[in-house]
Amino acid sequence: MTFLELMVVLTILSIFFMVAIPAMQGPHEKNKLRADARQLVSEMRYARSAAVLNQRDVILEIELNKDRYRLDLNREEKKDNEYGKRNEAAPDQDMEQWRGLNKNIHVVQVYSWEKADQKSGVGRIRFYADGSASAASIILRNKTGQYMTVVVNRATAEAQVFNGPPADWEKKTG
């Protein structure tokens, strides 16, 4: 193989990679969006189970400005036991830590019956001890402009993921 042939092959390969690599990023961004939506559904299932098991409300807090979420398990403050020592931390304590969404995935809007804290931009979804929840929808968007919506059924607290924003939702710019 001559030097000229080698240069032609390298040029063809470089053109192929210049076209192929950006084309592969679209599905990757969609997969990150889908993964975050499914992770939220998993957190909601855990919240419902914890509420029913512990017979107290559990709240999923979603911070819109920072694209993160956490569970508030509504546990009482740790108290000294009869021997004067603190009780050990609950095994699910890490569930109460803030968790961020993937890079370039954003929470666009949270619709819920729970009052949102307007100052902090935190939306809340409450899971009740009877297995129900406050009806809610969470709209997620990735950097390529694709949307997914997580919808919580009020009666069963079942969460489902749908492609795109809700049909009656109007995009608000600002």
pLDDT in tens, 44-101: 999 999 999 999 999 999 998 899 999 988 765 444 444 444 444 455 566 788 899 9
* pLDDT in the model for residue 76: 55
Q: Which residues pair with 133 in a beta bridge?
A: 127
CB 92 within 8 A of CB 73: yes
In a domain, 1, yes or no: no
In a domain, 3, yes or no: no
* Residue 36: how many other CB atoms lie within 10 Å: 24
Does residue 111 carry a pLDDT above 90? no
How many residues in the chain?
174
Instruction: Tell me the average pLDDT of the chain.
Output: 82
d(CA 58, CA 54): 9
* pLDDT in the model for residue 141: 94
Nearest to 159 by CA among 131, 137, 140, 142: 137
In a domain, 83, yes or no: no
User: Could you list the residue range(s) of the whole structural domain that residue 101 is in?
Assistant: 28-75+93-163
Query: 9-13, 96-100, 115-119, 160-164: lowest mean pLDDT where?
Result: 115-119
CATH number at residue 105: 3.55.40.10
In a domain, 37, yes or no: yes
pTM: 0.72
Under 8 Å CB-to-CB from 145, ≥6 apart: which residues? none
In a domain, 20, yes or no: no
In a domain, 13, yes or no: no
In a domain, 80, yes or no: no
Q: What are phi and psi of 160, to 5 degrees?
A: -130, 150
CB 140 within 8 A of CB 149: yes
> What is the number of domains present in the chain?
1
* pLDDT in the model for residue 77: 45
* Residue 8: how many other CB atoms lie within 10 Å: 11
